[in-house]
Amino acid sequence: MNKAHERRLFLSAAAAGLLIASVGGSFAASPLKLEFVTHAAFFSAETKQPKTLDPQVFVEDASAPEATGPQGIKHVAGERPPFIDQDPKTSKLFNAAHKPLGFDLQSWLSATGTVNIVEKDSKVTLEATFKNLQPNASYSLFENHFDTKPISFTPMDGVGKTNSFTAKADGTASITLTLPSMPTHDNAVLVIYNSGGGSHGMERGRIGMDAHHQIIARPE
């Protein structure tokens, strides 16, 4: 057998091996390391708002009528979504029914965090750490699905049992959980503040009332 023939056989065998591997198993996705940004900035950029605003919380404005905000959240008269670059950071925040949330705009916008997602042995693990959350408050991790119309949301763990956590007294928190699959650009990791004091299982809660999107991280 000449060397050229041997080489062709070798390449054919290698190609067959790759095909078998791709059919019989899957390659691990590259790890993700993401930084959270405020939902206000993310939403305003995605929807091309003329001014950066937060559609999930509200500030007092005596001239504001009862209305439905840019994310479909109906609020009472006398309040409106805050304009991030216009309203004082000391502005007190309320829910859509004018119930005080107990903190100001600066505190709300200060939340930060990082998330690492790794696939190993067909298991996808998420590890996230946070700071500047509301002390002793309830939070939940949900997954945005941008590839559905309308955009849909599911608990990060897929079942709504391990995706919630409570921030410590100093506003820090961490959580580790197993995901159903590796997120892509069609997805995002969403942190929801549960102003009602508890999580909502498979559902996000009443958005703008007892649950509010605070920070978000989306793969490139």
Q: Which amino acid is at 195?
A: S
* Nearest CA among 64, 35, 69 for reference residue 53: 69
Average pLDDT over residues 112-122: 96
| Model pLDDT for residues 61-99, shown as the tens digit of each residue | 999 999 999 999 999 999 999 999 999 999 999 999 999
Q: Which of 19-23, 134-138, 194-198 has the lowest mean pLDDT?
A: 19-23
Residue 96 burial by Cβ neighbours in a 10 Å radius (0-12, 13-18, 19+): buried
Residue 59 scores a pLDDT above 60: yes
| Cβ–Cβ < 8 Å for 210, 194 | yes
Q: How sure is the predictor about 125, in pLDDT bands with cuts at 50, 70 and 90?
A: very high
Lookup: tokens for 3: 């060397």
pTM (predicted TM-score) = 0.86
DSSP codes, 103-159: EEHHHHHT-EEEEEEEEETTEEEEEEEEESPPTT-EEEEEEEETTSSS-EEEETTSS
